Amino acid sequence: MKTIRRTRISDLLKSTAYGTEVNVRGWVRTRRSSKQVAFVALNDGSTISNVQIVIDVEKFDEDMLKLLTTGACLSINGLLVESIGGGQSVEIQATEIEVLGECDNTYPLQKKGQTMEYMRTVAHLRPRTNTFGAVFRIRHNMAYAIHKFFHDKGFYYFHTPIITASDCEGAGQMFQVTTMNLYDLKKDDEGSIKYDSDFFGKQASLTVSGQLEGELAATALGAIYTFGPTFRAENSNTPRHLAEFWMIEPEVAFNDITDNMDLAEEFIKYCVQWALDHCMEDITFLNNMIDKGLIERLRSIVDTEFVRLAYTDGIKILEEAVAGGHKFEFPVYWGVDLASEHERYLVEHHFKRPVILTDYPKEIKAFYMKQNEDGKTVRAMDVLFPKIGEIIGGSEREADYGKLLARIEELGIPMKDMWWYLDTRRYGSCPHSGFGLGFERLLLFVTGMANIRDVIPFPRTPNNAEF
């Protein structure tokens, strides 16, 4: 086979160099044939679009042509010509064909219209489909947009530990990390496991958040962000929860809660606009095939000013809705931790735009949030989105050493895990704020997909750690 430098399909489809000899490589999506000519739709992952390969069957070996099946990997040399058919501007008239990888009739992706549930059983192959190819190209673009946004604003990318001895959320739902023999655990006289012989000499877990360590960096570098994997061992088998997911967590010295809300709104609008500017081909496909209102919803986020609403006022609106006959599955009262249905009611029905909810009761929020003067609420903020509910959670952090210590003691958080965190309030404390954005929650919104397991390549959920 003649050696020709490979051209990506995304570049070929933009080319007008008709009559040029080109090489293209990829996987067969479909094939249709007649006695004289065969048409192969080839895709290499660089774009959702296929390039059509036109094959004069008389010029090729019959046995080789039988190998051009759905899923097979091919290298094609041929002439780039203007397409006379609809749907594409160019096609390739094949002169040489090499089968790089055969694919027999057991290939799981031969049938069209497979369910998302089925696709999760073949997660190692699903990136080859149109839907998941689109989702994962958008995922890449969103990751790039996040780094660009913070870099351009002067933030520093800070790597916080994946293995930690502290529980940021205080929930205790963490995956333990150990090198000990689980069949022969040494215990003390009180029946507690002895960790002194373990790798780290103490109990260690996979992190649920990089926030606490991120705060340390913000009080030295001014403005930082983390972007890495986090882990939660909560048994939540829902379309919105994963055991392993990615988090973006900016922390900024000298920012108060208002600055924090401004940053969150600017950040998420930037990401959505980036998707509209750089992923439109894939978004259009998902709009047509998955969610007919996707493009309209994305544009509305960019063009809309977010509502700023106190938790107390939000509860009043929900209580009025109940009084007016609206049915919620979960009860509404001051002090309740709002369910997704409550959040979505405020966004989708009452205001019809994103809402930033602030000043939550301290009992339902984490220990590190700054307490308001009323003694009942804290300077928390959650950004609520249509179809998602909470997409960002953050707060102004408690900067007062005495108040933070009292809250830690009140909640019974072990001081052995907190001494280093308290040092930032002991040595040159400053006001600071930050928030966390679950990357997959953002992707759910940007892609229009219904289940969070379908926006991460290999989902980790209860009873599922395949691939």
Final residue before a domain boundary, out of 101, 118, 144 = 101
Buried b (16+ CB within 10 A) or exposed e, 220-244: eebbbbbbbebbbbeeeeeebbbbb
The reply to whether 182 falls in a domain is no
The whole-angstrom separation of Cα 180 and Cα 462 is 24
Same domain, 161 and 36: no
Both tokens of residue 241?
A: 């929860």
> How distant, in Å, are the alpha carbons of 54, 80, 87 from that of 84?
12, 12, 9
> How distant, in Å, are the alpha carbons of 111, 325, 341 from that of 328?
40, 10, 7
Same domain, 334 and 282: yes
Taking 70 as the threshold, does the pLDDT of residue 416 lie above it? yes
Please tell me the total count of domains within the chain. Answer: 2
Percent of the chain residues past pLDDT 70, beyond the cut = 99
Confidence of residue 129 (pLDDT cuts 50, 70, 90): very high
Percent of the chain residues past pLDDT 90, beyond the cut = 88
Taking 90 as the threshold, does the pLDDT of residue 58 lie above it? yes
pTM here?
0.94
Report the run of H or E that residue 38 belongs to, with start and end.
Answer: strand 37-43
Q: Residue 32 belongs to a domain with what CATH number?
A: 2.40.50.140
Same domain, 259 and 366: yes
Q: Residue 296 belongs to a domain with what CATH number?
A: 3.30.930.10
> How distant, in Å, are the alpha carbons of 189, 194, 204, 233 from that of 185?
13, 8, 15, 21
Range of the domain at 397: 126-173+208-454
411: nearest Cα among 376, 377, 358, 364: 364
The whole-angstrom separation of Cα 84 and Cα 81 is 9
User: What's the chain's average pLDDT?
Assistant: 94
The reply to whether 310 falls in a domain is yes
Predicted confidence (pLDDT) per residue in 62-119, tens digit: 999 999 999 999 999 999 999 987 778 899 999 999 999 999 999 999 877 899 999 9
Same domain, 92 and 150: no
pLDDT at position 417 is 78
Final residue before a domain boundary, out of 101, 118, 134 = 101
Same domain, 70 and 148: no
Mean pLDDT of 134-149: 98
Same domain, 142 and 255: yes
Confidence of residue 367 (pLDDT cuts 50, 70, 90): very high
The reply to whether 140 falls in a domain is yes
Question: In sequence order, what DSSP letters do the residues of 140-180 get, joined into one string?
Answer: HHHHHHHHHHHHHTT-EE----SEES--TTS-----EE--S
Q: What is the DSSP letter of 363?
A: G
Taking 60 as the threshold, does the pLDDT of residue 421 lie above it? yes
Collapsing DSSP to helix, strand or coil, 74 comes out as strand
Residue 357 near residue 311 (C-beta atoms within 8 A): yes
